C-alpha cells in the first residue's frame, strides 16, 4: 500500500473540489485531490456559468442587486426551511468569488438571467441578472459546455500552486480516528491501494445523478421511466455514502428538477423548438399551467412531475412554426441553439423516421392524439375551447399572455412529449455554514468538510430559478469557503 500525506485532502476534483483546492493552496497548504475520472471539472464541463452577486462585471454593467437582497429573496422562496446562515455566507462571498475566478484567468461573456422573454411574462418577473456565463475558449456564442474554459483555468491555477491531482484514483473510504477525519483510502487505476493522511478532508463528489437506486429511494423517481436526468458517469453518491459511514447527518435529497427529452443533446433542435408558449396539455388532453410560464424550467419540471404518467405534450401547428421561422421564437433560451428553426425540420424528419418516441405528428387532431398517446376526446375538447378563447383574445382559464393565444389550425400538427429531467441531485450531507460536516445531533466532525452538490441543501423542494447560476455558484463558493477553513483547521492541528 502506498502512503501519502497532505495538509488538505480533497475527495474529487469537480467544480467544488477545484475551488477548495485552489483556496487551500493559496493559503499555503499542501493539497492532494483524488479524482475518479480521467479529467477535472465533473458536471461543470457541461455547464455555462455560476451565480455571483456584487462582482466587478456586474458593477460595470450597473446591475445593482446586493447580496442582502438576494439572501432575502432566497429565504422568501424557500420559506426559511433551509440554513439561513449558510445561504447568507454563500451570497456575501459570491461577488468576490467571481472576481477571484477572473483573476485566475476566467473570462465571462456577460451576466444573464435564465432566459429572455417580454418583461411582463418572464417566468419570474423578479428574475435576476446573476448568471455569469463563461466565455467559451476560442470565443463564439456561449452554450452548453462553455464552462470547460473555467474548469481549465481553475485546474491550471491549482497546478501552478502545487496541487497534486491523482486522476483515475477514486476514494473508497474516509479514515476516522476517535471521531476525527484523519485521511482517505483510495485505489489508483492500476489497482494499487493508497492511504493518504492529512489535517483535513473535503468531500466533493457531485451527488448521485448516475445512481438509479439512490434516485428511486431518496428522490422517488424511476430513472429512464419518469425522469431523464443528466447521468454523468461516476456520480453515484460515493461521497455521501462515505460521509454517512463516517457519522455524518443526513439531509433531504432532491433532484435539481427541470424538463428535458430523453437523450436530449442529440435532439436539441427539437427540444428547443418546443420550449415555447404554444398549447401544452397532459395525457388527458387538458391544459395544466399558463404556457407563458414554461420557460421556468424548475416550475415546469415540478408541474410535469405532478401529472398522470409524469408526461406533458407541447403542440403547435404549421402557422405557428412559420411565424417562429420568420420572427424567431417567442421565448428565447440561452441554452439551446440560436438558429433553432433553421434546423428544426431536418431534425424533426429524422426523428420521425427513426421512431424517436417523444415526437408525433398528425394531419388532424384525432390522428395527432392517437400517434402521441393523448386522450383524443379530451384533446379535441381542449382545442375547441382553446381556439374559442384565442378568437376572443383572452385565456379565461389561466390568463396566458394574449400575444401567445395562437389557435391550433389545419395542416400538419407537431407534438412533443415532455418529460421530467434534472441537472443532477442536491443534498445528502449535513453541514454548517463553515462547510464542516455535522453528526445527526449537529456536532461537528473534526477535520471533515463537505461541499458542492453532495451538501447543497439550500433550495428546499425547488431550485431557485430566480437567482440563476445557483448550483455552480453554491459549488464554487462552498468549495472556496471549505478550502480556507480546512487550512485553518489543518495548520492549527499541526
Binding site for ligand FAD (CB under 6 A): 11-17, 34-37, 42-44, 46-50, 144, 170-171, 204-206, 230, 234-235, 238, 423-424, 452-453, 469-473, 475
Shortest separation between residue 397's beta carbon and ligand FAD, angstroms: 33
| Residue closer to ligand FAD (CB basis): 302 or 470 | 470
Phi and psi torsions of 414, nearest 5°: -110, 140
What is the pairing mode between strands 180-187 and 171-177? Answer: antiparallel
Q: 258 and 423 in contact (C-beta within 8 Å)?
A: yes
Residue 388: burial class (beta carbons within 10 Å; 0-12, 13-18, 19+): exposed
Place of cell 477548495: 20
Bridge-partner residues for 333, per DSSP?
Answer: 115
Phi, psi of 409 (to 5 degrees): -100, -155
- Residue 251 and residue 457 in contact, taking contact as beta carbons nearer than 8 Å: yes
| Three-state secondary structure call for residue 449 | strand
What stretch of H or E contains 439? none
Q: Please state the separation of Cα 300 from the chain's center in Å.
A: 15
Least CB distance from residue 388 to ligand FAD, whole Å?
Answer: 40
Question: Least separation, in Å, of the C-beta of 122 and ligand FAD?
Answer: 18
What is the DSSP secondary-structure string of 119-187?
A: GGG-SSTT--S-EEEEPPTT-S---TTTTHHHHHHHHHHHHHTTPEEETT--EEEEEEETTEEEEEEEE
What sign has the CA pseudo-torsion 142, 146, 147, 153?
negative
In the complex, least distance from residue 392 CB atom to ligand FAD, rounded to whole angstroms:
40
- Least spacing, CB of residue 133 vs ligand FAD, in Å: 7
| Cα 313 from Cα 280, distance rounded (Å) | 6
Q: How far apart are CA 267 and CA 152, in angstroms?
A: 28
Kindly state the smallest distance separating residue 393's Cβ from ligand FAD, in Å: 37
30 or 471: CB nearest ligand FAD:
471
Give the separation between CA 150 and CA 446, rounded to whole angstroms. 31
Torsional sign, CA 154, 58, 77, 81: positive
Residue placing its CB nearer to ligand FAD in the complex, 389 or 420: 420
Nearer to ligand FAD, 16 or 121 (CB): 16
The answer to whether the CB of 74 falls within 8 A of the CB of 91 is yes
Residues 6+ apart with CB under 8 A from 89: 433, 481
DSSP label at 211? -
For ligand FAD, the closer CB: 295 or 389: 295
Q: How far is the CB of 10 from ligand FAD (least distance, A)?
A: 9
Closest residue to ligand FAD, based on beta-carbon distance: 14
Shortest spacing between CB 145 and ligand FAD, in angstroms:
8
Distances (CA, A) of 450 to 18, 252, 436: 13, 15, 7
Element (H, E) at 9: strand 2-11
State the nearest-atom distance from the C-beta of 453 to ligand FAD, in Å.
4
> Shortest approach of ligand FAD to residue 15 CB, angstroms?
4
In angstroms, give the least distance from the CB of 401 to ligand FAD: 27
Given the complex with ligand FAD, which of 32 and 44 has the nearer CB atom?
Answer: 44
Amino acid at each position: 500500500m502506498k502512503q501519502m500525506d497532505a495538509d488538505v485532502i480533497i475527495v474529487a476534483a469537480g467544480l467544488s473540489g477545484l475551488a477548495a483546492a485552489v483556496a487551500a493552496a493559496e493559503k499555503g497548504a499542501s493539497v492532494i485531490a483524488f479524482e475518479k475520472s480521467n479529467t477535472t471539472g465533473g458536471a461543470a464541463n457541461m455547464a455555462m456559468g455560476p451565480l455571483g452577486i456584487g462582482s466587478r462585471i456586474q458593477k460595470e454593467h450597473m446591475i445593482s442587486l446586493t447580496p442582502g437582497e438576494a439572501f432575502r429573496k432566497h429565504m422568501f422562496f424557500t420559506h426559511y426551511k433551509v440554513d439561513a446562515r449558510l445561504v447568507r455566507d454563500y451570497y456575501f462571498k459570491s461577488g468576490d468569488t467571481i472576481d477571484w475566478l477572473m483573476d485566475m484567468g476566467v473570462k465571462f461573456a456577460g451576466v444573464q438571467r435564465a432566459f429572455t422573454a417580454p418583461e411582463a411574462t418572464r417566468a419570474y418577473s423578479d428574475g435576476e441578472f446573476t448568471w455569469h456565463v463563461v466565455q467559451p475558449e476560442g470565443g463564439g456564442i456561449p452554450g452548453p459546455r462553455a464552462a470547460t474554459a473555467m474548469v481549465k483555468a481553475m485546474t491550471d491555477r491549482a497546478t501552478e500552486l502545487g496541487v497534486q491531482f491523482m486522476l483515475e484514483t477514486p476514494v473508497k473510504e474516509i479514515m476516522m480516528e476517535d471521531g476525527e477525519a484523519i485521511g482517505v483510502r483510495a485505489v489508483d487505476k492500476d489497482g494499487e491501494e493508497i492511504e493518504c493522511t492529512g489535517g483535513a478532508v473535503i468531500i466533493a463528489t457531485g451527488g448521485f445523478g448516475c445512481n438509479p437506486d439512490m434516485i428511486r429511494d431518496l428522490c422517488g423517481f424511476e430513472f429512464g421511466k419518469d425522469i431523464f436526468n443528466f447521468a454523468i458517469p461516476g456520480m453515484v453518491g460515493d461521497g455521501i455514502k462515505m460521509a454517512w459511514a463516517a457519522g455524518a447527518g443526513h439531509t433531504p435529497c432532491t433532484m435539481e428538477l427541470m424538463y428535458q427529452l430523453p437523450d436530449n443533446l442529440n435532439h436539441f433542435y427539437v427540444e428547443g423548438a418546443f420550449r415555447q408558449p404554444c398549447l401544452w396539455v397532459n395525457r388527458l388532453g387538458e391544459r395544466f399551467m399558463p404556457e407563458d410560464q414554461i420557460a421556468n424550467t424548475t416550475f415546469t419540471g415540478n408541474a410535469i412531475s405532478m401529472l398522470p404518467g409524469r408526461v406533458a405534450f407541447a403542440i403547435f401547428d404549421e402557422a405557428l412554426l412559420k411565424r417562429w421561422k420568420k420572427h424567431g421564437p417567442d421565448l428565447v433560451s440561452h441554452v439551446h441553439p440560436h438558429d433553432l428553426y433553421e434546423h428544426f425540420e431536418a431534425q424533426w424528419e429524422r426523428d420521425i423516421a427513426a421512431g424517436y418516441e417523444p415526437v408525433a405528428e398528425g394531419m388532424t387532431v384525432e390522428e395527432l392524439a392517437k400517434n402521441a398517446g393523448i386522450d383524443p376526446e379530451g384533446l379535441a375538447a381542449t382545442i375547441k375551447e382553446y381556439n374559442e378563447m384565442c378568437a376572443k383574445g383572452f385565456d379565461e382559464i389561466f390568463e396566458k399572455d394574449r400575444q401567445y393565444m395562437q389557435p391550433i389550425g389545419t395542416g400538419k400538427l407537431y407534438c412533443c412529449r415532455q418529460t421530467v429531467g434534472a441537472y443532477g441531485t442536491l443534498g445528502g450531507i449535513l453541514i454548517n455554514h463553515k462547510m464542516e460536516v455535522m453528526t445527526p445531533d449537529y456536532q461537528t466532525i473534526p477535520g471533515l468538510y463537505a461541499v458542492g452538490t453532495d451538501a447543497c441543501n439550500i433550495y428546499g423542494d425547488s431550485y431557485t430559478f430566480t437567482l440563476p447560476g445557483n448550483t455552480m455558484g453554491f459549488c464554487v463558493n462552498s468549495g472556496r469557503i471549505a478550502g480556507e477553513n480546512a487550512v485553518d483547521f489543518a495548520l492549527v492541528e499541526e
